[in-house]
């Protein structure tokens, strides 16, 4: 099937356990929790997204994997982060196989509301309030915090080796949200305080 891709680029992972790792990001268009249009934000399930995932270019699986391979600067050890929007609307076994044939390991960043259609090497689940999780396990959970209607304790049934609180970066609330996230992690050390380092680095 064709895949609509908003952007594909080489950068450094700015969050979570793979912080600082060089990666080819494939950002798919589309999401099941928000249209991506500002006029729909107030009625969306997820209202705080800061990512542009509207529009893009259509690829077949082999062509998209070739585009990723052209960006990777080494002969081996490729690392690809599949994101969105919501990448599980797009990712399938054909694309995963094409990426692996070119030497990539595959990480995915998902809201967790859709099942995994194929094997991936690293799953980052970022749950959103007002949704039902289809995933029962992930390698890491990244909860944007605070979210009205979704508390870290609500995710106790989701199995994950690492749990991150990422302070919500909206308007003038980042400092207060960071303090709240830090306080929660200090009281609940199974949670780690996250940072969106790419915003400080000035990379995509």
Positions marked catalytic:
25, 31, 46, 49-51, 109, 198
pLDDT in tens, 87-127: 999 999 999 999 999 999 999 999 999 999 999 999 999 99
Distance CA 68, CA 62 (A): 10
- CA dihedral sign of residues 12, 107, 63, 113: negative
The mean per-residue pLDDT over the stretch 183-196 comes to 97
pLDDT in tens, 1-33: 799 999 999 999 999 999 999 999 999 999 999
The residues with which 58 forms a beta bridge, in sequence order, are: 4
CB atoms within 10 A of CB 100: 16
As a whole-number percent, the residues of the chain with pLDDT over 70 amount to 100
Coil, strand, or helix at residue 193?
A: strand
The DSSP string of 27-43 is: EES--SS--S-GGGGGG
Residue 83 has φ and ψ, to the nearest 5°, of: -140, -170
As a whole-number percent, the residues of the chain with pLDDT over 90 amount to 95
How many domains, in total, are found in the chain? 1
Distance CA 131, CA 14 (A): 25
Calculated CA dihedral for residues 95, 62, 105, 58, nearest 10 degrees: -60
Whether the per-residue pLDDT at 170 is higher than 90: the answer is no
Domain that holds residue 56: 3-201
Provide the edge-to-edge strand list for the sheet that holds 3-12.
Answer: 57-59, 3-12, 22-28, 78-83, 104-110, 122-125, 137-145, 159-167, 191-193
Q: Rg (Cα) of the chain, in Å, rounded?
A: 17
pLDDT of res. 133: 97
Question: If you ran DSSP here, which 8-state letter would residue 93 be given?
Answer: H
Burial-class residue 106 by CB neighbours within 10 Å (0-12, 13-18, 19+): buried
Do 183 and 153 touch, CB atoms closer than 8 A? Answer: no
The mean per-residue pLDDT over the stretch 40-47 comes to 94
CATH number at residue 116: 3.20.20.70
Distance CA 17, CA 125 (A): 12
């Amino acid at each position: 099937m064709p895949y609509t891709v908003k952007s594909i680029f080489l950068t450094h992972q700015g969050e979570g356990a793979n912080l600082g790792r060089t990666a080819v990001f494939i950002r798919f268009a589309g999401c099941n929790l928000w249209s991506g249009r500002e006029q729909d934000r107030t009625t969306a399930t997820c209202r705080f997204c800061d990512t542009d995932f509207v529009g893009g270019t259509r690829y077949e699986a082999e062509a998209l994997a070739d585009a990723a391979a052209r960006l990777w600067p080494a002969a081996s050890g490729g690392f690809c982060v599949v994101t969105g929007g919501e990448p599980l609307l797009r990712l399938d076994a054909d694309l995963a196989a094409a990426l692996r044939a070119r030497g990539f390991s595959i990480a995915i960043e998902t809201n967790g509301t859709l099942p995994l259609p194929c094997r991936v090497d690293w799953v980052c689940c970022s749950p959103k309030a007002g949704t039902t999780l289809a995933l029962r396990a992930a390698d890491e959970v990244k909860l944007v915090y605070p979210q009205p209607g979704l508390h870290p304790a609500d995710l106790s049934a989701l199995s994950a080796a690492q749990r991150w609180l990422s302070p919500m970066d909206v308007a003038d609330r980042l400092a207060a949200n960071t303090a709240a996230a830090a306080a929660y992690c200090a009281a609940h050390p199974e949670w780690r305080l996250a940072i969106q380092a790419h915003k400080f680095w000035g990379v995509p």
